[in-house]
Structure 1
Amino acid sequence: MRNPHVFGAIIIGGGQSGLATAYYLRRAGVDTLILDDQAAPGGAWRHVWPSMTLFSTADFSNLPGRPMPAFDGFPPARHVVDYLADYEKRYDFTIHRPVRVTRVDHDEGLFTVHSPEQSWLARNVVAATGTWSAPFVPAYPGAFTGTQWHSANYPGAEPFQGQSVAVVGAANSGAQIAAELSQVARVTWYTRHEPRWMPDDVDGRVLFRRNRQRALAILRAETDPGPDSQLGDIVMLPHVREARDSGRLTPTRMFDSLDEVKSDHLIWCTGFRPALGPVRGLLDGRVPAIPGLHLVGYGDWTGPGSATITGVGPSAKQAAQEISAALGA
C-alpha cells in the first residue's frame, strides 16, 4: 500500500542524527516524516553494552534546541535514551515505528520509500541510519572453536566471570571492554599496533571544541586542523586509565590465524560500517548521486564529529537548509 501524501522530507532513522535533522526541518516549516526501525525512542543507545557511557558530561552532549538534563559524571546509556525520548516528545515529531525501510527509489523528482508493509512519497530523503546495525568483522584464516561476539552484542562482564576472553581492537571499544573484563576474566587484548592513548585530560569536551574548530575551518576554506585521531585512538575514561596503570590492560600482537586463539570467547571490537543498504543504489561511492538525497551522522565523512550527539548539529543543519532551499520553504 502506498501513502499518496508527498512529504517534503522523509528521514530514515530516529536516533540522534534523525532527531537533530528533524529539529531544523521543523524550524524551516518542512513537512517531515521520520521512519524508525526501533520499537521505542533511543536509536542505537538502546543496544549498547550496560556499562557504556558518553565521553562527555551532560552539558557537552546536547542536540540542538534542548539541553541534556544534568548528570554527575559521564552519562550512561539509560540517561541518553531518556533524553532522546524527551526530545521527541518536546518537538512532537511525526514518527512511525517500528518501520524497516528496505529500499528507496527515485523517479521524476520523487522518492518512494519502501517497507514490507507500506511505501511513502517524498521530495527529499535523509539517511540517518547510523552504523550500529552494520558491525564489521575482518576475515582471518583458521577456525575458532569458542564463542564469538562483537561489541554490538557484548552483554557486559557478568557472563564471562572466571573465563578466558580474547578482545580484538585497538580503539575505544576494545580498550573499554578489555579493561572491564580484566576485573573478572583472563583477558588477552589483541591489537595490530601499540595502543595510541589520548592524553589523560582529553575527554568529549576537548573533542567537541576541536570538532567545532574543524567545522569552522572547513566552512571558511581554511587549513583543516586535523581529526581527533591526531591526539590518539583511545579516550582515557577512568576505568580504562586504572586498568592501564595497574598493568591489567596490556596489548598482545595481533594473531595471523584464528587457530592461534585458545580463549573461551572472542570479542571483535573492530568497528562498524554505515548502514546504507536502503539507499545504496542511489549513491556514487559515499556521495549521493541523486539531488534531494542527504546523509547525516556517519562520522567524519559527513562532518567533523557528526557521529556524536553534539557534533551532529552542523551537518543536520546543513542538510535541512539545503532541503528547505530546494522546496522554497
Structure 2
Amino acid sequence: MVYDVIVIGGGQAGLAMGYYLRKTSLSFLILDNNELVGDAWRKRYDSLVLFTPRSYSSLPGLEVEGDPSGYPTKNEIANYLEQYGKTFNLPIQLKCEVTKVRKENGQYHIVTKDSLIKSKKVIIATGPFHTPRIPSFAKDLPKDIVQLHSSEYKNQTQLNHGSVLVVGGGNSGAQIAVELSSIHETYLSIGHKIRFLPLSIGKKSFFWWCEKIGLLKASGDSFIGKKFKGKPDPIFGFELRERIKNKEVKLKARSKSIKGNIIQFEDSSTLRVQNVIWATGFNKDYSWIDIPNLFDRNGYIKHERGITENEGLYFLGLPWQHRRGSALLLGVGDDAEYLAHHIQLT
C-alpha cells in the first residue's frame, strides 16, 4: 500500500495534523516512537506545570478538561493527548522508530526498524526537542558530581546532598531552580538578563491579553513578530524573581569552563557544587532525512509555512513556523489546518 500522507511524530503537532487529515479522504498514518501517545510529556520532570492556562492549551476540536483559568500539569497534557487520539480515532502506529526518509521514483520511502512504508507525501512533525544540548566542557566534571540534562531530571531524589547549579534561563530551568531551592542551596547560571512576565493581568490570563492585541496571530515577519522572534523566552510568573530576591536562588553569569570540581563563569567567579542540571535546550537532529536541499547555509530548514522546496515534504511544529505559538499547543493547530488545505490542493 502507498499512503497519501505519512506523519512522522505523534505528539501535539502530529495529532493536530491527524485531526485535519481526518476531515479529508486522504489515506494517512501517524508514526511515533513512544509506547503511548503523550509519553514525551510523561517523561519530563515531575513538577512541570504549563505556563499557558487550560483555555490556551488545547488542540483543535477538543478542550482540555478542568478549570479553564487553571494551569495543567504535564500528566494532564499527556493524558489529554492520548484521549485526543482516541476521540478522533486517529491511525497511530506506536513503538515505530523511523531511521530514514528518502525519495525514490516520486514516492517517499519511510524506513523503520521493522518495515518500509511508502507514501506520496510526508509531514515531519517531530517537534523542536531532539537531542539534549550540553556544553562540551560538561565532560570535565568529576564523576561524583551528579549532572543531568533537564530532559533526564525527574525530581530531587536523583541528586546528591548539597548545592546545585541549574544552567539555563528558560522556563524549564526557572521551574527546576524554584523547586530545588526549597531543598538545596541553589544557583542559576544564565547568560542574559531575565525578563519576567505575569501569568495574569487583572484576573485575565496574560495570553488573553496577547490574543486581544493580536500577538498570538502575529506572523514572524510582521512588525510585532520581529520584535519577539529570536529573543530569549521570558519567564512566566514571579516565583523565580521572589526566590532570587530572597537569595534562595543565587544568580551566576554564563557558565564558561570546568577545572577539577570548580565551575568557572564568564565574570571570572567560580563555584563548587555537588549537582548540575543542564537546562540548556536541545539540538535539532534531522540526519535521518536523506533529502537534498533541505537546509539553508545557516542550518535552518528552508520552508514557507512548513512547505519545503521538495515536492510533498512538509514540516509542522517548528518554532516560529508561522507564529509565536507554532511549536505550542495553542498555535500548532493553525499551521496543521494550513498544511492540510495545501495538501488537498496539490
TM-score class, shorter-chain normalisation, is 0.7 to 0.9
Partner of 1:61: 57
2:130 aligned with 1:133, yes or no? Answer: yes
Report the TM-score when normalising by structure 1.
0.88
Cα pair distance change 1:132/1:225, threshold 3 Å = closer
Cα deviation code 1:63-95 (max 9, x no counterpart) = 011111114731111111111111100111111
| Higher-helix-fraction structure | 1
Instruction: Could you tell me which runs of 5 or more consecutive residues in structure 2 were left unpaired when the two chains were aligned.
Output: 264-271, 303-307
Instruction: Could you tell me which runs of 5 or more consecutive residues in structure 1 were left unpaired when the two chains were aligned.
Output: none
Q: What amino acid sits opposite 2:8 in the alignment?
A: I
Cα pair distance change 1:31/1:235, threshold 3 Å = same
Q: What amino acid sits opposite 2:73 in the alignment?
A: P
CA contact (8 A) 2:102 2:290 kept: no
Where 1:284 maps in the other structure, the secondary structure is coil
2:28 aligned with 1:8, yes or no? Answer: no
Where 1:117 maps in the other structure, the secondary structure is coil
Partner of 1:151: 150
Superposed displacement of residue 249, structure 1: 2.4
Q: What amino acid sits opposite 1:36 in the alignment?
A: D
Name the CA distance, whole Å, in 2 between partners of 1:255 and 1:218: 34
Name the CA distance, whole Å, in 1 between partners of 2:226 and 2:207: 11
Where 1:324 maps in the other structure, the secondary structure is helix
CA contact (8 A) 1:142 1:257 kept: no
Name the CA distance, whole Å, in 2 between partners of 1:191 and 1:216: 30
Q: Taking every aligned residue pair, what percent have the same amino acid on both sides?
A: 28
Name the CA distance, whole Å, in 2 between partners of 1:205 and 1:106: 46
CA contact (8 A) 1:103 1:279 kept: yes
Superposed displacement of residue 160, structure 1: 3.0
Matches within 5 A, 1:291-306: 291-301=311-321, 303-306=323-326
Name the CA distance, whole Å, in 2 between partners of 1:185 and 1:161: 10
TM-align CA RMSD: 2.8
Partner of 1:234: 234
Q: What amino acid sits opposite 2:125 in the alignment?
A: A
After TM superposition, which residue ranges in structure 1, 4 or more long, deviate above 6 angstroms? 229-232
Cα pair distance change 1:209/1:281, threshold 3 Å = farther
Q: What amino acid sits opposite 1:121 in the alignment?
A: K
Report the TM-score when normalising by structure 2.
0.84
Superposed displacement of residue 114, structure 1: 0.5
Q: What amino acid sits opposite 1:105 in the alignment?
A: R
Number of residue pairs matched by the alignment = 321
**169-178 or 275-284, which moves further after superposition?**
275-284
Q: What amino acid sits opposite 1:266 in the alignment?
A: V
Cα deviation code 1:37-77 (max 9, x no counterpart) = 00011042121100001112212111011111114731111
Q: 74, 79, 86: which is aligned to 1:77?
A: 74
Partner of 2:113: 116
**288-297 or 80-89, which moves further after superposition?**
288-297
Cα deviation code 1:171-226 (max 9, x no counterpart) = 2122111111111112221111332222464799534764793564439x853444
CA contact (8 A) 2:128 2:284 kept: yes
Q: What amino acid sits opposite 1:67 in the alignment?
A: E
Cα deviation code 1:290-322 (max 9, x no counterpart) = 111111112114542111111111111122112
Where 1:84 maps in the other structure, the secondary structure is helix
Name the CA distance, whole Å, in 2 between partners of 1:323 and 1:34: 16
Partner of 2:28: 32
Cα pair distance change 1:230/1:142, threshold 3 Å = closer
Cα pair distance change 1:200/1:104, threshold 3 Å = closer
| Higher-strand-fraction structure | 2
Name the CA distance, whole Å, in 2 between partners of 1:182 and 1:299: 30
Q: 80, 91, 101: which is aligned to 2:98?
A: 101
CA contact (8 A) 1:211 1:304 kept: no
Where 2:255 maps in the other structure, the secondary structure is coil
